[in-house]
Amino acid sequence: MDELTIPARFNGPPDSGNGGYACGRLAAGIKGPAEVELRAPPPLERVLTVERDGETLVALDGDVLVARARPAEVALELPAAVSLERAEEASRAGYERWSSAHPFPSCVVCGPERPWPDGLGVYPGALDEGGLFASVWLPEESLAHGGDEGSVPAECVWAALDCPTSAPVANFGEGPPIVLASLAASLERPAAVGEPHVIVSWPLELDGRKRRAGAALFDSGGELVACARALWIELRRE
């Protein structure tokens, strides 16, 4: 991998790439589980240079360091899978919450202005126990373009894991927005196009402006597809 470009479709904030998608694109050059640190907003539709230093990959926009990826262990105590019915109910409530105070409503993963299938349509809603959130994700056919027939490209799985980790630690109109600083993910098996999946997310740690959370992606049979841990940073108050 010598370069990568984030397509305009896969934005997070209006003028930059979705953090999870960008992380997944760079992590494609790492064998096995990886952690990607975002150092600058990933630009859209601009070629980024990718350089390798041992086991580490960096993505550069000219002289600007955009992201750094390295092998990582993703050690998490995972919750049990949630039924599709419960996740659908949580998603309906989550959509109402995300629609009311979303800082980036055009986000390809969770933005209410990007209805499925243009967006991924992932709207995490709270469950009744332990700070857990759940959402349904139905990967649609256009995501598999250019990949293995019937399976979702890894970068789209990373994207689907990204936004749900924000839900348990976001401010939702009661404080500054939070932005993704790093994401580590372990992909256990392919996610299937056309199959409903369930994403469960939960808080890990709140430390001032730093917010850590985890997420797990399950297939329709309750088998683990992927898991992730994320670090979010609350933007400074003006």
Q: What pLDDT shows up at residue 40?
A: 97
- DSSP states of 115-174: -TTTS-----EE-SSTT-EEEEE---GGGGTTSSTTB--HHHHHHHHHHHHHTTT--TTS
The verdict on 122 and 161 lying in the same domain is yes
DSSP structural state of residue 109: T
Query: For residue 164, which phi and psi values (nearest 5 degrees)?
Result: -60, -30
Tell me, yes or no, whether 79 lies in a domain.
no
Q: What pLDDT shows up at residue 67?
A: 98
Q: How far apart are the C-alpha atoms of 219 and 45, rounded to whole Å?
A: 32
pLDDT band at 236 (very low <50, low <70, confident <90, very high): confident
Q: Residue 146: pLDDT above 70?
A: no
Domain boundary among 71, 93, 118: 71
pLDDT in tens, 87-140: 999 999 999 988 888 889 999 999 999 989 999 999 999 998 779 999 999 999
What count of other Cβ atoms lies within 10 Å of the Cβ of residue 32? Answer: 11
Q: What pLDDT shows up at residue 100?
A: 83
pLDDT band at 175 (very low <50, low <70, confident <90, very high): confident
The verdict on 104 and 204 lying in the same domain is yes
Q: Residue 22: pLDDT above 70?
A: yes
Q: How far apart are the C-alpha atoms of 93 and 78, rounded to whole Å?
A: 23
The verdict on 32 and 100 lying in the same domain is no
Average pLDDT over residues 207-229: 97
Q: How far apart are the C-alpha atoms of 136 and 142, rounded to whole Å?
A: 18
**Three-state DSSP class for residue 98:** helix
Share of the chain above pLDDT 90, in %: 85
Q: How far apart are the C-alpha atoms of 154 and 108, rounded to whole Å?
A: 16
The verdict on 30 and 118 lying in the same domain is no
Specify the range with the lowest mean pLDDT, choosing from 70-84, 98-112, 155-169.
98-112
CA 79 to mean position of chain CA atoms? 18
Tokens matching residue 98: 């995300």
Q: What pLDDT shows up at residue 147?
A: 55
The verdict on 99 and 181 lying in the same domain is yes
Average pLDDT over residues 197-211: 96
Mean of the per-residue pLDDT values of the chain: 94
Q: What pLDDT shows up at residue 128?
A: 80
Residue 205 CB burial class (10 angstroms; 0-12, 13-18, ≥19): exposed
Tell me, yes or no, whether 67 lies in a domain.
yes
Kindly report the CATH number assigned to the domain that includes residue 37: 3.10.129.10
Residue 18 CB burial class (10 angstroms; 0-12, 13-18, ≥19): buried
Rg (CA), the chain: 16
Residue 220's domain comprises: 84-234
pTM of the model: 0.95
